[in-house]
Structure 1
Amino acid sequence: MSTEDPRELVGTTPAPEERAMETALRPKSLDDFVGQQTVRRQLSLVLESSKLRERAADHMLLSGPPGLGKTTLAMIIAAEMSAPLRLTSGPAIQHAGDLAAILSSLAEGEVLFIDEIHRMSRPAEEMLYMAMEDFRVDIVVGKGAGATSIPLELPEFTLVGATTRAGLLPGPLRDRFGFTGHLEFYAPEELERVLRRSAQLLEMRVTDAGFEEIASRSRGTPRITNRLLRRVRDWALVHGVAEIDRRAAGAALDTYEVDPRGLDRLDRAVLQALCTTFRGGPVGLSTLAVIVGEETETVETVAEPYLVREGLLARTPRGRIATDAAFAHLGLPRPETQEGLPGT
């Protein structure tokens, strides 16, 4: 059986060994892409227009939480335009020279995908302004008084930027994108459609109730739902289960400590500490992190967003507070002296 850390099952960052499997499960066209109806419809219009004009499509910015399909959509955009795709990331572009090297090697109509574009360095961002607007960059040769600026013309290309924190993008960069799409978390029925497609590709037999059980524990995120499906497959193979029903799917995910609401070990540890040690709060983030044995950043970026979205935890000026729903989920009575927020 897999020895994967249970916490990684509901994380949104894929492990290196999982990337090949994720690639195999990615949809290859907009028709195969599940969910995000508004963004898909808008993208279809933009791409169809570019084909009719026989020009590169406008630059596009895709924003939203991790694991919802931003990279997949970039690949689909390139495929729909019958154009090559160049992939890079914001953290990899720390100098203007890094960006100049990428831009100068692009072919006519090529799609350049920059993941986590908000993490680019400021000099690279400023070079990107001119490249996006005028398809030109100025290369500075030399230093000091003897420095010379050499203009370099670029072929028309389409930039697709992806970000999980659109608010960190500077206004001048954000304004240069002709299309902006925000991806939302998936509804359970949409995740079930993702699961059916993936199960078919993996040659798995799963009942309707089995799909429903996996989808309900997937945090509204396709990347997580595909990861859980693969772990259920592992459990079924080891236990000799030919068809996965609700009971089998639940038993498999219980083994990996993913509960019926999609909470993992860290999520429950945070809620347990809030509800028992601190009687529901309020409590500071750093204190909470010490109690659960994790880094402050891990609690804030991994556990808190989902707990807040599910109405199990609230952030207040005085600290973190457990809601009525958190006590109910853990099967604990709320202390009468605790002044918290009502559950949702």
Structure 2
Amino acid sequence: MSETEHHDAAAEQAAPRELVNTAPAAEEKTMEAALRPKALEDFVGQSTVRGQLSLVLQSSAMRGAAADHVLLSGPPGLGKTTLAMIIAAEMGAALRITSGPAIQHAGDLAAILSSLTDGEVLFIDEIHRMSRPAEEMLYMAMEDFRVDIIVGKGAGATSIPLELPSFTLVGATTRAGLLPGPLRDRFGFTAHLEFYSVDELHQVLRRSASMLNISVTEDGFAEIASRSRGTPRISNRLLRRVRDWALVHGIDQVDQQAASEALNTYEVDSLGLDRLDRAVLDALCTKFRGGPVGLSTLAILVGEETETVESVAEPFLVREGLLARTPRGRIATDAAWEHLGLEAPKPTTTDEGPAAPKLWDE
């Protein structure tokens, strides 16, 4: 087989895997965009943030000036991008969207800033992942609405000041602690988004169901909300999967039993744990008697990268009190044993008293 034929065959073998990659399908993106609220009064939850943000926007409208720069922080899926879109809509301004990883050079940021129009809203998602030179350029742009463009190199380099139109920067981050202090201090309004309660998710689902033309009972909404991990994005995704299940099974109205059966089909249990979450807990409890276990050992056992276990599974398990992180490793709590329906092992004792737990290190 020639090199070209070998390359084509490899491409054909790889093609089916592209169908199941983690990037959302076009239909999913369109549906998610349609479910986003367009006005601040339609935004469910985050009552404190909504009240504060409403004052900022009303004040800017009364002053006839662009609103102060806004920093939104919090876990993924809580509405940071939606709030950025609402800010632009409430201001009646255009919205420019980019992300921190896309701005790796100061020149990239200068090109974006120089093309802004007066009053425009610039949204930078994952702003903590910008390069350091771009961050330093952003300091002056946010404060003085100007940037200095360096032309040439060495002794012949000159600085050309570029005046910028008045704009509002909205930054979103899932890791506010990684933002340098000088950048964080230049935001006039900062807000941290909290996880949603079941009642708030109930309201989100009710609104989404009306837009998707799905008939769901109150206990059906409650069942989906209780498995949504306090995150509107997840609740909307689960609602669409329940819709698919009900459509295939010919069910006109989704009640608690139908919602439960549908979500069980997608391996989302009563607490919202998915396959990876349960695999981590099961490995801790059945293979290592509840731990302590090193992270890399745990990741190998569940067949995932350490970063995946640490950033995807652990935060929710810790928040639900099912897993604890200790200096010696990860341990399963009593709630984890109870959720899995297993009996926790009794601590071993010696003549000198209780024995220290065995450390399952990497």
Q: What range describes the TM-score normalised by the shorter chain of this pair?
A: over 0.9
Partner of 2:338: 328
1:250 lines up with 2:260 in the alignment: yes
1:146 lines up with 2:137 in the alignment: no
1:281 lines up with 2:287 in the alignment: no
1:221 lines up with 2:231 in the alignment: yes
Partner of 2:323: 313
Partner of 1:109: 119
SS in 2 for 1:140: strand
1:24 lines up with 2:34 in the alignment: yes
Structure 1: distance between partners of 2:23 and 2:223 = 22
The partner residue of 1:212 within 222, 230, 234 is: 222
1:127 lines up with 2:159 in the alignment: no
SS in 2 for 1:31: helix
State the Cα RMSD in Å: 1.5
AA in 1 matched with 2:256: R
Structure 1: distance between partners of 2:164 and 2:300 = 52
C-alpha deviation, 1:337, in angstroms: 2.3
Structure 1: distance between partners of 2:206 and 2:296 = 41
Partner of 1:200: 210
Structure 2: distance between partners of 1:14 and 1:60 = 28
C-alpha deviation, 1:16, in angstroms: 4.2
C-alpha deviation, 1:14, in angstroms: 6.6
Partner of 2:24: 15
Structure 1: distance between partners of 2:272 and 2:104 = 37
SS in 1 for 2:41: coil
Partner of 1:272: 282
Partner of 2:6: none
Structure 2: distance between partners of 1:88 and 1:239 = 41
Structure 2: distance between partners of 1:50 and 1:56 = 6
The partner residue of 2:43 within 18, 28, 33 is: 33
Q: Output one character per residue of 1:76-97: Cα deviation in whole Å (capped at 9) or x when no partner.
A: 0000000000000000000000
C-alpha deviation, 1:58, in angstroms: 0.2
Structure 2: distance between partners of 1:319 and 1:14 = 32
Partner of 1:230: 240
Structure 1: distance between partners of 2:25 and 2:163 = 37
Partner of 1:97: 107
Paired residue total: 331
Structure 2: distance between partners of 1:235 and 1:108 = 48
Partner of 1:87: 97
C-alpha deviation, 1:25, in angstroms: 0.3
1:76 lines up with 2:86 in the alignment: yes
SS in 2 for 1:86: strand
C-alpha deviation, 1:15, in angstroms: 1.8
* Percentage identity across paired residues of the two chains: 80
C-alpha deviation, 1:144, in angstroms: 1.0
SS in 1 for 2:215: coil
Long gaps (5+) in structure 2? 1-19, 349-355, 358-362
Structure 2: distance between partners of 1:201 and 1:124 = 41
Structure showing greater Rg: 2
TM-score, normalising length: structure 1? 0.94
SS in 2 for 1:177: coil
Structure 2: distance between partners of 1:120 and 1:200 = 39
Structure 1: distance between partners of 2:49 and 2:292 = 39
Long gaps (5+) in structure 1? 1-6
SS in 2 for 1:258: coil
The partner residue of 1:55 within 52, 56, 65 is: 65
